[in-house]
Structure 1
Amino acid sequence: MSSSILIAIVFLSIFTIVKYSVNQHINEEIQEELYKHLDDVSTDSNDTYLIQVDQWRAREHNSISVNPVFVEFYDTNKQLIDKSPNLKNSNIQLLAANQNNKFTDTKLNGIPIRQIQTGIINKDQVVGYLVVAMSLEDFEIVQILKNILLISYPLILILLFLIARFLAGRSIKPVSTIIDTSSQITKDNLKSRIPLPINKDELFVLSQNINNLLDRVENAIEREKQFTSDASHELRTPLAVIKGTMEVLIRKPRNQHEYEEKINFCISEVNRLNHMVDQLLLLARFENQKQNIKNETIYLNAIILDNLTRFSEKIESKKIKIITSFSDDYYIQSDNYLVSIIISNLLSNAIKYSDSTGEIRIKLSQNEHHITFSISDNGIGIAPDDMDKIFNSFYRSDVINHAQIKGTGLGLSIVKRLCDLLKFEISVDSKLNFGTTFSLSFSLAKLK
């Protein structure tokens, strides 16, 4: 619609400019001829004007076929005195006095002409009339142009429509491909991807972003499936142990010591199961935690000391030596509760995997932009092949050789998710049978 209006405006502008130019050209030529013939007129003592016939007839007005200019002279009684030879037996119509000095379109023997008439003045009196006319046959160019534009307009619109339809068809093809591919993608089929267009335009970026989104969705669903499978397995294991223990317990009468031993074992498995459920709920809550993250100034020293106090009983039972190195005060800007969970899990792991009478070193250091927290133990360490798996849910390194170390395999998974959520950098350095060091990097808090 806008294209058709624009073309119409352009065509109308062309026609108007050409018409004005042709009209202006004809008017100037007629005006020039009028002044020339007025110069050929003189008056005598009787106030009768005389025409210098030889001069004006000598001009090239004798051919009606080449730029014909028609001239006529009239007296005060509007009687014809003389005229140019190219008029032959024809006469130009003398108009009323109110049409003097005005361009008027009339006809001469059916041929369109433009004429102008003026009074011949002598001593402020009109002593006669001069009429000059010119054929408008050249003006047919305007009419031809008008016809051409009127014919061209619908043809151009049709051509533009066909071109636009063709180009739109080609440009919309990638969109159709996106729609077709998207309709094939279901929860059971997440492998399909949108073919990337050849041209790297906006549709290329859109297709690429959709493919990246599908990759993330597929990975998330795969992780969810794996998590569900692992969770169901890990939950069934303690339940099966409890059930087996209870079945063995009721097969025959037993003494009080045996009852107490089996019941205490079941209680420990229930506690383990309860701890696992708490951690699973914690993981599930972290999936929607982004909107609820607090931004507060945290005193790291206090969080570390609080967690050491919380685990003091286990530390004393294993006779582990705690060495701290943070003489200064360290502050960060983050969520106090979530940071406490991270440090708690790292400290719990360090205690769990440390040998009796081992050492745990906790250090805080600071540079210009960051604060670094590190916790090191001299325990069993992590095998190099397991380093890239330790943050996976339910993964526990070398369980067979260390069956006495109980756990759910969720602690480091929680730590990694919280670090990603809070945009902390976490790294691990470990050597088998020599110990492990976890390091966290925090941005400095902006204290007021």
Structure 2
Amino acid sequence: MLTRRSIRQNFLIKLIFASASLIFIFSSILYFYIEKSIYEEKHQELLQYAKNISNNKSIFYMNADSGDTLLGLDIEIIYLKKAHQDMDLYEKTEHKHTYLTLIYPFNLEKLSYLKITKEISQTKKILDKILNYIFVINIVGFVFVILYAIALSKMLISPIETLSKRLSDMNEHLMRPIKVEELPEEFEPLGETLNHLITRIQNFVKYQKELFIGTAHELKTPLAVIKLKNQVTLIKKRTPEEYIEALQVTNKTIDEMNIIVSNILNIGRQEGAQLEKPVEVDVILFLREKANNFKLLAENEGKELSINFEPSGFMAKLQLSLLNQIIQNFLQNALKFTSVEGLVILRSSQDDFGLLIEVIDEGCGIDESVDLFAPFKRQGNKSGVGLGLFLAKSAADALGAKINIKNRVDGVEGTVASLQLNSKLSCIIPRKKRK
């Protein structure tokens, strides 16, 4: 159904109006050209009669096929009170007959003029028929224009209807990417954007399911421990010290549950951060500020944080809180798994994709066959809930960035956590080197 906000309706109205205007203008020009040509021919014919009479005292040189030209021709000499050097041509209609009259100087000394009148009723009828034919052709052409505009507009919105139908048939259990190669070239960017969105939705649904299952499992275990401890405590009477010890164990388990709940709340905050308005920020400047904060933490733990940033400036439009969550998680993990007197490196460089940010540690490494970005996945010899990398992955997807964790290949044990920001949404800003 077409509405006021319908693109198709606006297209139809504009195309029909433009086509109708073009048909009207072209038909008018054609008719006026035909009319002018016919009248010019009649004018020249009367003018030739007048010249022949003035010069030769005869209407025209008689030819075998020119007898009919005298039909409807009236010639007379008139006298005027004042001399007129110019000719006069006019048309009049009497009793449904149309006449074309030419006043031509004959003898200026006697103020005599030739008045040649030619009946052009048949010519007028022919012009009227031509006008009617043009009018009928315009109506037929206008109808064809309407049909063509409807068919063309339907063809133009057909890809959108196809995309809409495919998207309406999808649900969280059945989500298939759109075949971009089957779309018109102009709709390929839209198809790619929708596929990117579908991928994000698939990842979101997958992680949400894993999150719910993992949360239930993680909360079920400490609750079972609390219940078991309480049951054992209630079996027999105990000393106050033993009750205090049991309560301390229970409080410790509750603290672990609070950590899980806090991380789940962070997921909700992150989803809210994805809706924040992106701001333009210098990523390199942000990394320097972040590194300065973590340098103090590293020194306090007896570790070293080294930085190396290239290029000197890199502007990007993004949600800063999401970028902060990723870098903070990388640095926290790197410092947590790196031993005392170990080295953590934060560096950046430009590649074909955009800006590559890397955090390199000297930890225990990872099992690369395990999906560390799934919720509640933990590796290494340090405690944790296992939601940090899950949050980092979700933030990277929201930024349209790539995230990866792999083992070092330079002969040193440890991992390399990397984030690649897309250069389509950013640019390099040169800075003057400090002396």
Contact 1:181 1:193 in 2 (8 A): no
Provide the residue aligned with 2:317 in structure 1. none
Residue 437 of structure 1 aligns with which residue? 415
Letter of the 1:15 counterpart: Y
Deviations 1:205-228 (A, max 9, x none): 545544543343233223222212
Partner in structure 2 of residue 117 of structure 1: 103
Structure 1 distance, partners of 2:95, 2:64, is 18
The answer on whether the counterparts of 1:371 and 1:444 sit within 8 Å (CA) in structure 2 is no
Instruction: Specify the SS of the correspondent of 2:361.
Output: strand
The 5 Å alignment of 1:342-353 reads 342-350=330-338
Q: CA deviation at 1:275?
A: 2.4
Q: Structure 2-normalised TM-score?
A: 0.69
Deviations along 1:155-200, one digit per CA (max 9) or x if unpaired, are 22223333333444444444444444454445x6653676779551
Q: 1:325 to 1:56 in 2, by over 3 A?
A: closer
Aligned residue in 2 for 1:30:
46
Matched, 1:275 2:278: no
User: In percent, how many aligned pairs have the same letter?
Assistant: 18
How far did 1:394 drift? Answer: 0.4
User: 1:322-356, CA deviations, whole angstroms, 9 ceiling, x for partnerless residues?
Assistant: 553649999999779754554223322445xxxxx
Q: What is the aligned-residue RMSD (CA, Å)?
A: 4.6
Residue 287 of structure 1: SS of its match in structure 2? Answer: helix
1:40-91 alpha-carbon deviations (Å, 9 max, x no partner): 3xxxxxxxxxxx4xx6565349844258684635476x9xxxxxxxxxxxxx
Q: Secondary structure at the match of 1:116?
A: strand
2:376 is aligned to: 394
Find the partner of 1:59 among 56, 59, 62: 62
Q: 1:385 aligns to what SS in structure 2?
A: coil
Amino acid at match of 1:38: S
Unaligned runs of 5+ in 2: 1-15, 315-319, 421-427
Alignment partners' CA distance in 2, 1:221 and 1:283? 13
| Counterpart-to-counterpart distance in 2, 1:176 and 1:248 | 65
Worse-superposed segment, 269-278 or 8-17: 269-278
In structure 1, the gaps of 5 or more residues are 41-51, 79-96, 313-321, 352-357
* Equivalent position to 1:160, from 140, 145, 150: 145
Counterpart in 1 of 2:389?
412
Secondary structure of 2:116's counterpart equals: strand
Q: Is 1:213 equivalent to 2:197 in the alignment?
A: yes
Q: Name the residue aligned to 2:55.
A: 39
Three-state SS of the structure 2 residue aligned to 1:114 is strand
1:428 aligns with 2:406: yes
| 1:227 paired to 2:211 | yes
Whether the 8 Å contact between 2:306 and 2:343 is mirrored in structure 1 is no
Say whether the 8 Å CA contact 1:174–1:197 is kept in structure 2. Answer: no
2:360–2:414 CA contact under 8 A, matched in 1: no
Find the counterpart in structure 2 of residue 324 from structure 1. Answer: 304
How far apart, in 2, do the equivalents of 1:327 and 1:208 lie?
37
Determine if contact 1:376/1:438 at 8 Å carries over to the other structure: no
Number of residue pairs aligned between Structure 1 and Structure 2: 386
User: Comparing both structures, which one devotes a greater share of its residues to helix?
Assistant: 2
Looking at structure 1, the residues matched to 431 and 332 of structure 2 have their Cα atoms a distance apart, in angstroms, of 25
Asked if 1 retains the 8 angstrom alpha-carbon contact of 2:295 and 2:304, the reply is no
Give 1:20 shift: 1.4
Between 1:165-174 and 1:60-69, the stretch displaced more is 60-69
CA positional deviation for 1:114 = 2.2
Pairing 1:126-145 to 2, within 5 Å after superposition:
126=111, 128-136=112-120, 137-138=122-123, 140-145=125-130
Aligned partners of 2:78 and 2:115 also within 8 Å = no
**Mapping 1:281-296, distance limit 5 Å:** 281-290=265-274, 291=276
1:370, CA displacement in angstroms? 7.7
What is the CA deviation profile of residues 102-157 of structure 1, one whole-angstrom value per residue up to 9, with x for unaligned ones? 224468999754232345325x333x443334453455542331121122222222
Counterpart Cα distance in 1 of 2:236 and 2:387 = 38
Q: Which residue of 1 aligns with 2:131?
A: 146
1:360 aligns with 2:342: yes
User: Alpha-carbon deviation of 1:273?
Assistant: 2.0
CA distance in 2, matches of 1:70, 1:445: 91
Answer yes or no: is the 8 Å Cα contact 2:342–2:362 preserved in 1. Answer: yes
Alpha-carbon spacing, 1:149–1:199, altered in 2? closer, same or farther (3 Å): farther
Q: Greater CA radius of gyration, 1 or 2?
A: 1
CA distance 1:141–1:211, change in 2 (3 Å)? farther
Match 1:307 to one of 297, 321, 339: 297
Alpha-carbon distance change, 440 to 446 in structure 1, aligned in 2, over 3 angstroms: farther
Question: 1:390 offset after TM fit, Å?
Answer: 1.6
> What is aligned with 1:237?
221
Q: CA–CA distance in 1 between the matches of 2:96 and 2:308?
A: 112
Q: Quick check: 407-416 or 110-119, which moved more?
A: 110-119
